[in-house]
């Protein structure tokens, strides 16, 4: 599991803020700022954080829906951050995305056969019989019956629609799947089935997952490693088990302390409840120093003026916090 399939280096996604009829630039939204992260082949790497932390924007930059403002994205050793559409085409087959809302991501006027075979047509699979065979295979992979080929999305339940989203994402045999909150629109019992399906497919097909979620209770049993994002910055990266038993960054501790638990024994494993103060600020108005300082219960004078670096604090654990900077 140690081979790196994807690496980002200093990735930034900044969006100009304009005003007036001449659209003068009056500011900049730093949605993603200086992200360096590595995904290992066959692992599930979860990106977590509140809404507005920049995780979906980072995922879209990796998927190259956005061209990064700065930095590099290496996929299997090739820098794809600056490639034009033509040169990106082979990489588009390798990296696919499953979206949050299966209802809006499937064309309601098309039958499942057309929806699932669309990426095959776009990528030049001309033989209709071969395409039909592949669509049948994909339906089987996501555990939907073959007669569903001729159904429309509105004939399916939410869980079935998300299975179709997964089938379409797998059509081109990608190596990396970006799962953008794939279960957040589903009931809890359906969520568990989709997670079970994703686990099975990962094992069978050797997939790597980048799993975007705000639901930390899901990550615990699904992810191998976790990256915690706050206001466009990574603030902690750790193996999932380590993050849950020994969260270091004050923001990670606050996020974990909000997870609802059923058993008292589970509650004992989580940090003491330290609810987050206030709301995440707009990325257009980033606080000085450590961006978390206005909400941090442990903030020190240094935190107001100096941005902490990402430091290795234990094997495979990195934290961006002045509390740990000198302890390496
Ligand atoms: Fe809190 Fe300071 Fe650490 Fe930021 S650097 S998380 S403000 S202690």
- What pLDDT is attached to residue 328? 39
For 312, residues 6+ apart whose C-beta sits below 8 A from its C-beta are 318, 328
For 106, residues 6+ apart whose C-beta sits below 8 A from its C-beta are 115, 153, 161, 164, 165
Mean pLDDT for the chain? 91
What is the distance between the alpha carbons of residues 20 and 46, in angstroms, rounded to a whole number? 40
CB of 228 shorter than 6 A to ligand 1: no
CB of 295 shorter than 6 A to ligand 1: no
pLDDT in tens, 157-180: 999 999 999 999 999 999 999 999
DSSP 40-63: ETT-EEEEE--TTSSHHHHHHHHT
If one residue of 293, 310, 313 were mutated to test the ligand 1 pocket, choosing by the most ligand atoms within 8 A of its CB, it would be: 293
Mean pLDDT of 173-199: 92
For ligand 1, atom 5, the nearest C-alpha belongs to: 321
pTM of the model: 0.92
Q: Which atom of ligand 1 is nearest to the CA of 302?
A: 2
Q: Ligand 1 centre and the CA of 135: distance in Å?
A: 50
Residue 227, pLDDT above cutoff 80:
yes
Confidence of residue 102 (pLDDT cuts 50, 70, 90): confident
- What pLDDT is attached to residue 39? 97
Which of 92, 53, 98 lies closest to 75 in space, CA to CA? 92
- What pLDDT is attached to residue 111? 95
pLDDT in tens, 260-313: 665 555 556 656 667 777 888 888 888 999 999 999 999 999 999 999 999 999
- What pLDDT is attached to residue 24? 87
Residue 12, pLDDT above cutoff 70:
yes
Residue 173 DSSP one-character state: -
For residues 110, 191, 134, 127, the Cα torsion angle rounded to the nearest 10 degrees is 30
Of 48-57, 89-98, 267-276, the poorest mean pLDDT is in 267-276
CB of 321 shorter than 6 A to ligand 1: yes
Residue 174 DSSP one-character state: -
3-state secondary structure of 202: helix
- What pLDDT is attached to residue 217? 84
Residue 151, pLDDT above cutoff 70:
yes
For 112, residues 6+ apart whose C-beta sits below 8 A from its C-beta are 135, 139, 148, 149, 150, 151, 152, 153, 164
- What pLDDT is attached to residue 325? 66
Place of tokens 């089935």: 193
CB of 303 shorter than 6 A to ligand 1: yes
Which of 255, 230, 227, 225 lies closest to 242 in space, CA to CA? 225
Q: Ligand 1 centre and the CA of 235: distance in Å?
A: 10
In this predicted model, which residue has the larger pLDDT, 83 or 280?
Answer: 83
CB of 307 shorter than 6 A to ligand 1: no
Residue 318, strand partner residues = 237, 312
What is the distance between the alpha carbons of residues 83 and 72, in angstroms, rounded to a whole number? 11
Q: Which atom of ligand 1 is nearest to the CA of 250?
A: 6
Residue 121, pLDDT above cutoff 90:
yes
CB of 323 shorter than 6 A to ligand 1: yes
Confidence of residue 327 (pLDDT cuts 50, 70, 90): very low
Q: Which atom of ligand 1 is nearest to the CA of 303?
A: 2
What is the distance between the alpha carbons of residues 320 and 328, in angstroms, rounded to a whole number? 12
What is the distance between the alpha carbons of residues 247 and 252, in angstroms, rounded to a whole number? 6
What is the distance between the alpha carbons of residues 180 and 186, in angstroms, rounded to a whole number? 13
Confidence of residue 138 (pLDDT cuts 50, 70, 90): very high
What is the distance between the alpha carbons of residues 46 and 218, in angstroms, rounded to a whole number? 10
Which of 2, 3, 80, 7 lies closest to 227 in space, CA to CA? 7
Residue 54, pLDDT above cutoff 90:
yes
- What pLDDT is attached to residue 267? 58
- What pLDDT is attached to residue 271? 61
What is the distance between the alpha carbons of residues 206 and 194, in angstroms, rounded to a whole number? 17
- What pLDDT is attached to residue 26? 86
């Amino acid at each position: 599991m140690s081979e790196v399939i994807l690496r980002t280096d200093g990735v930034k996604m900044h969006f100009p803020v304009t005003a007036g009829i001449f659209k003068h630039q009056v500011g900049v939204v730093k949605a993603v700022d200086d992200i360096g992260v590595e995904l290992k082949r066959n692992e599930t790497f979860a990106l977590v954080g509140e809404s507005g932390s920049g995780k979906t924007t980072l995922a879209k930059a990796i998927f190259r829906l956005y061209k990064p403002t700065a930095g590099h994205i290496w996929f299997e050793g090739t820098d794809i951050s600056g490639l034009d559409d033509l040169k990106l085409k082979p990489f588009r087959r390798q990296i696919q995305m499953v979206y949050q809302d299966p209802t809006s991501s499937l064309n309601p006027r098309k039958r499942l056969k057309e929806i699932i075979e669309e990426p095959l047509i776009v990528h030049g699979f001309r033989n209709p019989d071969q395409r039909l065979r592949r669509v049948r295979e994909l339906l089987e992979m996501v555990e939907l019956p073959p007669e569903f080929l001729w159904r429309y999305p509105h004939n399916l339940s939410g869980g079935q629609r998300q299975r179709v989203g997964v089938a379409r994402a797998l059509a081109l045999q990608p190596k990396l799947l970006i799962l953008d909150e794939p279960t957040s629109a589903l009931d809890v019992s359906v969520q568990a089935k989709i997670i079970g399906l994703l686990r099975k497919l990962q094992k069978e097909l050797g997939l790597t997952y980048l799993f975007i979620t705000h639901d930390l209770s899901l990550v615990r049993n699904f992810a191998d490693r976790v990256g915690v994002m706050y206001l466009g910055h990574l603030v902690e990266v750790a193996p999932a088990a380590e993050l849950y038993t020994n969260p270091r960054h004050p923001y990670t501790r606050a996020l974990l302390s909000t997870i609802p638990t059923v058993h008292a024994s589970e509650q004992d494993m989580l940090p003491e409840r330290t609810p987050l103060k206030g709301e995440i600020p707009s990325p257009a108005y980033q606080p000085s120093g450590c961006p978390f300082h206005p909400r941090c219960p442990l903030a020190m004078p240094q935190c107001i003026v100096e941005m902490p670096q990402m430091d290795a604090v234990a094997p495979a654990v990195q934290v961006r916090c002045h509390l740990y900077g000198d302890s390496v």
